[in-house]
Chains A and B, each alone.
Chain A
């Protein structure tokens, strides 16, 4: 099993690497296109601001490569948001893998949403063994709207898509690497997904 975490300069990827280490998997950090293409499974992380993260992807040419990947790809937090059509954050055009737009929470609620909230309407192998209304840790100001590709929903101000899937592409708004034992189960499920490489 070769697991690559795409390292394009966005955010704290150490915790993701450690989370896989706790599962006994050595995740390789890489921005090398050949190495990414050759991996069995790919993590697309991201913490920070959408437009600058997108710019870093463009500079390395990864924006063209990621949508063509055939193996399971898991976008986490901003990684998931960048896989959508667009984001209101810095009016950023995304990778367009998920046919949905990313919006900002209004000031009717505290922004960012910070803490543990539930996921429900679970519809993917990613959530095998995870019960409805399980708690996950979230930190975000922007969200993907509910859509056809939603595989989990969370309510904060409105009900939004807290996880997405299209073919081999998966995205989660929450941080499985920081969501205790249940979060680790989701990472383990991702590792066990079939590879079409």
Chain B
């Protein structure tokens, strides 16, 4: 049976993880390669690296990091942040990334999704969507959630599916950072209306939140950052509890 995936997300700036990580027995918690290896050993099913470097130099460092991760880590990983062209994706895949995640650049130019799916296959195109519920409607936001668009979450998700996205990474801005649970109602709607995998993001605080997003939110995967980085929820224990709740996981 296909299992539900647990995905730690690492924010990368100039080749280093930011937001801090607090693993025990880790000599250099800022080194994304060391962290990625640790997560792979602890049972993570995939990893996501989000490049938040604002400079060209930072982006170059990101490519070197991708190469090192691919060299040393034996589970799949996705790279996102600042990707806006076929050339960007080509370089990342050639450096060993398995998938790329695009967000704002897809909103600015939706044809990019088609171009990437045609050239590299839809399995490596993840479309990340940040959305916020305003007066009952889920509105897609741009540029890390700072700018509201006119797009409705469900319409946009269906459009990118049609254009060739292989997966949707949905972050609820209402839930992100709250540690109060994932946006399961919207996630379940996405999962029912679309026929590609949906990754839940934003709001993870407890093990129960993961159980809920798989059972109520019908999510295919769940992504989180701080609960993993600070050891609040050890991945192995999380997966054991999911299994006890009849959610299929790789253990």
Chain A interface mostly: mixed
Contact of A114 among B40, B94, B166, B195 (CB under 8 A): B166
Q: How far is the CA of A48 from the CA of B116 in the complex (A)?
A: 11
Q: How far is the CA of A12 from the CA of B122 in the complex (A)?
A: 14
| With contact pairs A112-B196, A156-B2 given, residues A11 and B96 touching in the complex (Cβ less than 8 Å) | no
Name the CB-closest residue of B to A181: B74
| Chain A interfacial residues counted at CB < 8 A | 36
Chain A residues within 8 Å of B5, by CB = 115-116
Which of A110, A175, A177, A183 neighbours the largest number of chain B CB atoms within 10 Å of its CB?
A110
Size range of the chain B interface in the assembly: 20 to 34
Q: Does A67 contact B (CB under 8 A)?
A: no
Q: Are B71 and A21 in touch, CB under 8 angstroms?
A: yes
Name the CB-closest residue of B to A140: B123
Contact of B2 among A107, A116, A179, A180 (CB under 8 A): A116
Name the CB-closest residue of A to B76: A178
Q: Are A116 and B94 in touch, CB under 8 angstroms?
A: no
Cβ distance A195 to chain B, nearest Cβ, rounded Å: 26
Q: State which residues 68-93 of B face A: CB under 8 Å.
A: 70-72, 74-76, 93
| With contact pairs A112-B196, A114-B220 given, residues A14 and B2 touching in the complex (Cβ less than 8 Å) | no
Name the CB-closest residue of B to A114: B197
Name the CB-closest residue of A to B3: A116
Q: Does A60 contact B (CB under 8 A)?
A: no
Q: Are A112 and B74 in touch, CB under 8 angstroms?
A: no
Chain B residues within 8 Å of A177, by CB = 74
Q: Are A115 and B75 in touch, CB under 8 angstroms?
A: no
Q: How far is the CA of A178 from the CA of B72 in the complex (A)?
A: 11
Contact with B along A30-54 (1 / 0, CB 8 A): 0000000000000000011100000
Contact with B along A87-130 (1 / 0, CB 8 A): 00000000000000000000100111111111000000000000
Contact with A along B111-123 (1 / 0, CB 8 A): 0000000001111
Q: State which residues 121-176 of A face B: CB under 8 Å.
A: 135, 137, 139-141, 155-156, 175
| With contact pairs A114-B167, A156-B2 given, residues A180 and B98 touching in the complex (Cβ less than 8 Å) | no
Q: State which residues 91-145 of B face A: CB under 8 Å.
A: 93-98, 120-124
Chain A residues within 8 Å of B250, by CB = 116, 135
Q: Does A66 contact B (CB under 8 A)?
A: no
Q: Are B121 and A115 in touch, CB under 8 angstroms?
A: no
Q: Are B45 and A110 in touch, CB under 8 angstroms?
A: no
Q: Does B1 contact A (CB under 8 A)?
A: yes
Contact of B74 among A47, A49, A110, A183 (CB under 8 A): A183
Q: How far is the CA of A137 from the CA of B166 in the complex (A)?
A: 16
Cβ distance B193 to chain A, nearest Cβ, rounded Å: 12
Q: Does B221 contact A (CB under 8 A)?
A: yes
Q: Are A48 and B167 in touch, CB under 8 angstroms?
A: no
25 A-B residue pairs with Cβ-Cβ distance under 8 Å, sorted by A, are: A12-B96, A12-B98, A12-B124, A14-B70, A14-B95, A15-B70, A15-B98, A47-B120, A48-B120, A110-B195, A112-B122, A112-B123, A112-B166, A114-B197, A114-B220, A115-B45, A115-B221, A117-B3, A135-B250, A137-B75, A139-B166, A155-B1, A177-B74, A178-B75, A179-B75
Closest 9 CB pairs of A and B: A14-B96, A116-B250, A135-B250, A48-B121, A139-B123, A117-B2, A178-B76, A18-B71, A116-B3
For the complex with contacts A12-B97, A18-B72, 14 further pairs of A-B residues with Cβ separation under 8 Å are A12-B124, A14-B70, A14-B96, A48-B120, A48-B121, A110-B195, A114-B166, A114-B167, A115-B2, A139-B98, A178-B74, A178-B75, A181-B74, A183-B74
Q: Which residues of B contact A (CB under 8 A)?
A: 1-5, 40, 45-46, 70-72, 74-76, 93-98, 120-124, 166-167, 195-197, 220-221, 250
